[in-house]
């Protein structure tokens, strides 16, 4: 090989680099081209090995040509590498740009059960009127559930509260009225409490009966209370809970622990149908005596309402069982 031939090969090699390098697009392309030109068996490396075929006088000149070529290819490779990296970064940025018009991720929110919402609302109404919230056990003794409420063992009214007996004089409370006794036994008048809670009766489930249900009990005992005060409190409640478009009606009823006793109905003004909302009455003197109050000194009144019933009237729900089915399509509506 002559210097002339080697020089021509060097030029050819540069042209073929120029051709190839125009189409480099990825780091992998770059690497395979680098190996092809500069690798241990690469085209340029082969030219360097050809140096020894040259006459000794030409080798220095030829070596310079090859070194210049090598530097140019190396720096061109470095430039290409930087360019490809920059393009990759730009492409990544474009790919990752936020599209604010895309729909968001759906995260369903939990809610309070409608019965809980109604209970809280009722509590709030009476807290505003100055009542405390009290509570008592769901497993009661016959004494608190019946006897102290003037319902003796042989009292026919016991049949009205068909009970789940647990043995040894205990049962699942059939109403929240036993809390009246528990509160009065531990406080002196004036007493103003409401007590929301779960109650249990051996009723077969149907559209209006559930063996487990909720009541709110109210009790106010103080000097000088009359039936008029009872009517006022219930009137305030009806207005706050159902709204102004309702009228109420009291009719005679019987509970062993109140005298006189009443059943309270409401009716949307301009409609026909009366709807029962609660049982109520003046606390029976025997009940006051039982807890150590003097019926000559203080009087009181009480009522008990069903939370399910309030919710059904408020929302037009026709089957009580739906509260316990945990159907999200129902629960979501509240
Ligand atoms: N405890 C009665 C019931 O469950 C309701 C009631 C409470 C009546 C307070 C009068 C006074 O039916």
- State the pLDDT at residue 288: 98
Partners of 165 in the β-ladder: 171
Identify the architecture of domain 116-331 in CATH: 2-Layer Sandwich (3.30)
Q: Using a 6 Å cutoff on CB, does residue 175 contact ligand 1?
A: yes
Task: Judge whether 293 and 221 are in contact, CB under 8 Å.
Answer: yes
- Per residue of the chain (334 residues), give pLDDT as tens: 888 888 898 899 899 988 888 888 888 988 999 999 999 999 889 888 888 888 888 888 889 998 999 999 999 999 999 999 999 899 898 888 888 899 989 888 889 999 999 999 999 999 999 999 999 999 999 999 999 999 988 887 777 678 999 989 999 999 999 999 999 999 999 999 999 999 999 999 999 999 999 999 999 999 999 999 999 999 999 999 999 999 999 999 999 999 999 999 999 999 999 989 999 999 999 999 999 999 999 999 999 999 999 999 999 999 999 999 999 999 999 9
Ligand 1 mean position to 279 CA, how many Å?
5
Query: Rg (Cα) of the chain, in Å, rounded?
Result: 46
Q: Using a 6 Å cutoff on CB, does residue 303 contact ligand 1?
A: yes
Q: Using a 6 Å cutoff on CB, does residue 288 contact ligand 1?
A: no
Ligand 1 mean position to 220 CA, how many Å?
14
Dump pLDDT digits (tens) for 268-326: 999 999 989 999 999 999 999 999 999 999 999 999 999 999 999 999 999 999 999 99
Alpha helices in the chain (DSSP H): 3-21, 27-38, 43-50, 56-96, 114-128, 142-145, 178-186, 227-242, 285-290, 307-315, 328-331
- State the pLDDT at residue 51: 87
- Nearest CA to 237 out of 226, 228, 248 is that of 248
DSSP run (H or E) holding 247: strand 246-255
Ligand 1 mean position to 245 CA, how many Å?
26
Task: Judge whether 164 and 200 are in contact, CB under 8 Å.
Answer: yes
Q: Using a 6 Å cutoff on CB, does residue 306 contact ligand 1?
A: no
Q: Using a 6 Å cutoff on CB, does residue 281 contact ligand 1?
A: yes
Ligand 1 mean position to 177 CA, how many Å?
6
Mutate to test the pocket of ligand 1, among 161, 198, 252, 255 (most ligand atoms within 8 A of CB): 255
**Considering only CA atoms, which residue is closest to atom 9 of ligand 1?**
303
- Nearest CA to 288 out of 146, 134, 141, 148 is that of 148
- State the pLDDT at residue 153: 85
Domain boundaries, the chain: 3-95, 116-331
Mutate to test the pocket of ligand 1, among 134, 145, 151, 175 (most ligand atoms within 8 A of CB): 175
Partners of 167 in the β-ladder: 170
- Nearest CA to 27 out of 94, 85, 71 is that of 85
Task: Judge whether 196 and 158 are in contact, CB under 8 Å.
Answer: no
Atom of ligand 1 at shortest range from CA of 215: 4
Strand arrangement of the beta sheet that strand 212-222 belongs to: 132-133, 191-200, 212-222, 299-306, 275-283, 258-268, 246-255
- Nearest CA to 222 out of 157, 165, 298 is that of 298
**CA 236 from centre of chain:** 32
Q: Using a 6 Å cutoff on CB, does residue 280 contact ligand 1?
A: yes
Token pair, residue 15, equals 């042209």
Q: Using a 6 Å cutoff on CB, does residue 150 contact ligand 1?
A: no
In angstroms, the CA 189 to CA 286 distance is 16
- State the pLDDT at residue 321: 96
In angstroms, the CA 333 to CA 207 distance is 20
């Amino acid at each position: 090989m002559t210097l002339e031939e080697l020089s021509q090969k060097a030029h050819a090699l540069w042209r073929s680099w120029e051709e190839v390098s125009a189409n480099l697009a990825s780091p992998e392309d770059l690497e395979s081209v680098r190996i092809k030109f500069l690798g241990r068996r690469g085209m340029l490396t082969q030219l360097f090995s050809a140096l020894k075929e040259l006459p000794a006088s030409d080798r220095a000149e030829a070596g310079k040509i090859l070194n210049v070529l090598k530097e140019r290819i190396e720096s061109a490779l470095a430039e290409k590498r930087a360019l490809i990296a920059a393009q990759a970064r730009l492409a990544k940025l474009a790919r990752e740009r936020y599209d604010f018009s895309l729909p968001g991720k759906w995260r369903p929110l939990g809610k309070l059960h409608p019965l809980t919402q109604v209970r809280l609302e009722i509590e709030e109404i009476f807290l505003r009127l100055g009542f405390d919230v009290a509570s008592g056990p769901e497993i009661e003794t016959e004494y608190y559930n019946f006897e102290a409420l003037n319902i003796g063992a042989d009292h026919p009214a016991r049949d009205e509260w068909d009970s789940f007996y647990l043995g040894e004089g205990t049962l699942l409370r059939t109403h929240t009225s036993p809390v009246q006794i528990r509160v009065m036994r531990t406080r002196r008048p004036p007493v103003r409490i409401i007590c929301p809670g779960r109650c249990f009766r051996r009723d077969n489930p149907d559209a209006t009966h559930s063996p487990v249900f909720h009541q709110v009990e109210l009790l106010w005992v103080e000097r000088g209370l009359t039936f008029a005060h009872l009517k006022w409190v219930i009137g305030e409640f009806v207005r706050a809970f159902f709204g102004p478009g309702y009228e109420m009606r009291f009719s005679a009823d019987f509970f062993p622990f109140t005298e006189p006793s009443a059943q309270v109905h409401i009716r949307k003004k301009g409609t026909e149908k009366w709807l029962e909302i609660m049982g109520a009455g003046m606390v029976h003197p025997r009940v006051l005596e039982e807890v150590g109050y003097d019926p000559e000194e203080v009087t009181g009144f009480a009522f008990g309402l069903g939370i399910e019933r309030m919710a059904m009237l408020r929302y037009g729900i026709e089957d009580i069982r739906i509260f316990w089915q945990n159907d999200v399509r129902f629960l979501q509506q509240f």
